[in-house]
Copies of this chain bind each other. A is one copy, B any other.
Amino acid sequence: MPIQKTTKKEIIATSYQVFRRQGYHRTTLEQLAKATGLTKGVFYHHFKNKEAIMQEVLRTSHSYFSTKVFSIAYQDELPARERMQQMIEASNRILTKDCYGCIFANTALEINHIEKELAQFTRDFFEAWEKAFTHILESEYQPNKARLLAQQIIADIEGSLILVQVHQDKEIIMRAYERTMKHLE
């Protein structure tokens, strides 16, 4: 196995940051190249086209959420409230890293109605997130009520993330987390 200066993994990680900040259509391969310190040509060695890069980014990000965030929900030995708290903190670290925003929500709004392929990735992510919240809430609520509450929580968080960006006020998302915790009191 010879040396490879920049791994595919690193390209994905850097591309994730650019896509999350700028969105899909606004981001050019030139920008991705500059951000990774490579040239455009390299990207076509690793990926078929621009959309394939985005797909890998979303797949990797979803996987990261699964490991670092969603998994917390299923540690049934911990009390529900504790899991909720930890899961919120874990997701918050990701959603507020460098800037405030969720690449899946951004992508959903930017490409829905249009690119069916990418839409599936956002759908998968939100379903997994909803399942995680639902699992925690089922310790106190009936399954269907728990599912609706999970959706409400996600809507609250994502909506608040929009408002954080609009008003440049981080407190908005903190209050959303407080409301979320109130569901387990």
Given contacts A165-B108, A175-B148, contact A113 B126 (CB under 8 A): no
Does A38 sit within 8 A of B, measured CB to CB?
Answer: no
- Restricting to A140-158, which residues have a CB under 8 Å from any CB of B? 148, 151-152, 154-158
Q: How far is the CA of A154 from the CA of B158 in the complex (A)?
A: 11
Assembly stoichiometry (copies): 2
Does A21 sit within 8 A of B, measured CB to CB?
Answer: yes
Question: Which of A22-30, A54-62, A67-75, A88-96 faces chain B?
Answer: A22-30
A109 contacts B105, C-beta separation under 8 Å: yes
Partner of A110 from B109, B123, B152, B166 at Cβ < 8 Å: B109
Closest Cβ–Cβ distance, residue A99 to chain B (whole Å): 6
Chain B residues contacting A108 (CB-CB under 8 Å) are: 162, 165-166
Q: How large is the interface on A (under 10, 10 to 19, 20 to 34, 35 or more residues)?
A: 35 or more
Chain B residues contacting A156 (CB-CB under 8 Å) are: 152, 155-156, 159
B158 contacts A23, C-beta separation under 8 Å: no
Given contacts A126-B167, A179-B152, contact A105 B162 (CB under 8 A): yes
Q: Which residue of B lies closest to A20 (CB)?
A: B113
Q: Which residue of B lies closest to A173 (CB)?
A: B155
Q: How far is the CA of A32 from the CA of B114 in the complex (A)?
A: 16
- Restricting to A93-115, which residues have a CB under 8 Å from any CB of B? 99, 101, 105-106, 108-110, 112-114
A109 contacts B101, C-beta separation under 8 Å: yes
Q: List 5 A-B contacts (CB under 8 A).
A: A106-B109, A123-B166, A126-B163, A155-B160, A159-B160
Kindly list 17 other residue pairs between chains A and B, CB separation below 8 angstroms, not including A152-B156, A156-B159, A158-B159. A25-B25, A25-B26, A99-B113, A106-B110, A108-B165, A109-B162, A113-B165, A119-B166, A123-B167, A151-B172, A152-B179, A155-B155, A155-B156, A155-B159, A155-B176, A156-B156, A157-B159
